[in-house]
Amino acid sequence: MDILVLGMVFFILLALVIGVIISRVSKSSKLEEELREEKELTHAIVASMGEGVLVLDTDYDIKLINPQAEKLLETTAKEAVGQKWAEFVKAYVGDQEITFDKRSSVKTLASGEIKITSIGDDHYYFTRSGRKFPIVAITAPLKREGKVVGVVKVFRDATHEKEIDRMKTDFISLASHQLRTPLSAIKWFTELLLDPAAGTLTMEQQGYAAKIAVSTDRMVSLVNSLLNISRIESGRIMIDPKPTDLLELVESVISELKRKMDTKGHKFIINTIDKLAPIPVDPKLIGHVYANLIDNAIKYTQDRGDISVFISKKNDEIISQISDSGFGIPVNEQQKLFQRFFRASNAIKHVTEGSGLGLYLVKAIVESSGGKIWFKSEEGKGSTFWFSLPIAGMQPKKGEVSLDS
């Protein structure tokens, strides 16, 4: 009897164990099936994307390429997978090849940050067949358990956008040129009206003429900004580096803005950490950068505020810092600051005139000079802008026109 009971208990336990095993096998099979379906779905999504997709490992070897990337790069997955990305497809800024350390995939892998390549960056891919085409791209780190294990690059051919951008630039340039002639005439005749030698005006007439003069100056400034932007974007600006003492350049800018500064009663400080040797830069272009940043500090700082310029050397760069105790920039608007035509909401309340083109132009000049620009700002407390220039200076470039010509 005991043996029968034990036998029954054994078979019951065995059945339970078999049931658990069958259940686990069933769950495992279901999990494998779910993983397989998820993998197939991911593959289908990547394969059907209208943009090119590449996955690189930490050695920058191509691990995955989707059909659209195969089409754009004129290759096949069989040919591309396993190849070194930087060797397989060359990347250019304009006509200059991007060195390995400057490639977005290298920067992303090193920093773990997303890199965005926009139409304004003027990046191109050069396929092995010799086709060169403009691109816009997003390069993102591929992470596993918080560790960067590769890079995902999504890109597309920007030929159409590039052409539209060129047409827009050409239109702005043409329209601005056409506006300059009548504006120059208005400005000249207004100056004649205000000259006592041309005859006596009543106080009311003088007021009207003065308002015409101020408005004309604003329009001339806007037209010049539009022209300068179109020239830089089209690559027509010449760069003529000369050994330049940056401290003296800033002092000359300050002298031109002194009346504005004195009117508002600002306290101004300029300093350098060491005696800096002259560096080869285009004084007209870099002077424009200083003039815009200092003029902004004057405009957007309340009366009797503090403005300072500090120039220093760090490694192989010269860093210029322009600080003010002004209105600052709202946090939720700071990412838009270097966009064309953008003006901060609090700035518009205090200073109504302005085109929103100055900082866009400044950024274009600094980056075309091989430098960077960045800032820190707190609303109600002020802003600090920094921009860097390579200590080796700017590279000369032939062009059709100079700034404001």
Q: Are residues 197 and 121 in the same domain?
A: no
Query: Looking at the structure, do residues 22 and 53 belong to the same domain, yes or no?
Result: no
CB 309 within 8 A of CB 320: yes
103 & 37 share domain: no
pLDDT in tens, 347-382: 888 787 778 888 999 998 998 888 999 999 999 999
Q: What is the DSSP string of 133-157?
A: EEEEEEEEEEEETTEEEEEEEEEEE
CA gap 88, 243 in Å, rounded: 40
Write the single-letter amino acid at 347.
Answer: A
Residue 137's pLDDT is: 93
Query: What are the tokens at 304?
Result: 């009797």
Last residue within a domain, chosen from 140, 157, 174:
157
The answer on 196 and 313 residing in a single domain is no
- pLDDT of 405: 59
Q: In this predicted model, which residue has the larger pLDDT, 45 or 88?
A: 88
What's residue 5's pLDDT? 45
| 296 in the same domain as 265 | yes
Which has more confidence, 78 or 44?
A: 78
Sorting pLDDT into bands at 50, 70 and 90, what band is 9? very low
Please check whether residues 76 and 43 belong to one and the same domain: no
pLDDT of residue 42: 62
Whether 177 is covered by a domain: the verdict is yes
Residues 313 and 258 in one domain: yes
Residue 17 falls within a domain, yes or no?
A: yes
Measure the CA–CA gap between 144 and 151, rounded to whole angstroms: 11
Reported confidence tier of residue 134, pLDDT bands at 50, 70, 90: very high
Residue 398 lies in a domain: no
Q: Write down the pLDDT at residue 21.
A: 47
Task: Give φ, ψ of 155 to 5 degrees.
Answer: -145, 165
- Structural contact between residues 111 and 121, judged by C-beta atoms closer than 8 angstroms: no
Q: Are residues 308 and 348 in the same domain?
A: yes
Residue 211 inside a domain? The answer is yes
pLDDT at 6 over 70: no
Q: Is the confidence at residue 331, as pLDDT, over 80?
A: yes
Same-domain status, 5 and 138: no
- Residue 358 and residue 292 in contact, taking contact as beta carbons nearer than 8 Å: yes
Asked if pLDDT for residue 404 goes beyond 70, the answer is no
Rounded to whole angstroms, how far apart are CA atoms 118 and 175?
A: 25
Which residue carries 């810092």 as its tokens? 321
Is 405 within the bounds of a domain? no
Average pLDDT value for residue range 74-78? 92
Does the residue 185 lie in any domain?
Answer: yes
pLDDT at 104 over 80: yes
Q: CA dihedral defined by 148, 153, 154, 156, rounded to 10 degrees?
A: 160
User: Which range scores top for mean pLDDT: 65-79, 263-277, 350-364?
Assistant: 65-79
CATH of the domain at 343: 3.30.565.10
Which of 108, 142, 157 represents a domain boundary (last residue)? 157
* Banded pLDDT at 174 (limits 50, 70, 90): confident
Domain that holds residue 281: 242-390
Task: Give 316's contacts (C-beta < 8 A, 6+ positions apart).
Answer: 390, 391, 392
So what's the pLDDT on residue 238?
84
Split into its structural domains, the chain has a count of 4
167 and 299 inside one domain: no
Sorting pLDDT into bands at 50, 70 and 90, what band is 295?
Answer: very high
Q: How many residues belong to the chain? A: 405
H or E segment to which residue 382 belongs: strand 382-390
4 has pLDDT over 80: no
| Average pLDDT value for residue range 332-348 | 88
Residue 226 lies in a domain: yes
How does strand 267-272 pair with strand 306-314?
parallel
> Of the candidates 97, 122, 157, which is a domain's last residue?
157
Report whether 174 contacts 195 (CB < 8 A). no
Q: Over the Cα atoms of the chain, what is R_g?
A: 31
- Between CA 299 and CA 228, with CA 356 as vertex, the angle to 5 degrees is 105
**pLDDT at position 60, please?**
93
Does residue 23 form part of some domain? yes
CATH value at residue 86: 3.30.450.20
Whether the per-residue pLDDT at 108 is higher than 60: the answer is yes
Whether 193 and 121 share a structural domain: no
Average pLDDT over residues 95-120: 89
* Distance separating the N- and C-terminal Cα atoms of the chain: 113
The predicted model gives 317-324 an average pLDDT of 94
In this structure, the answer to whether residues 187 and 248 fall within a common structural domain is no
Count of beta carbons in the 10 Å neighbourhood of residue 146: 6
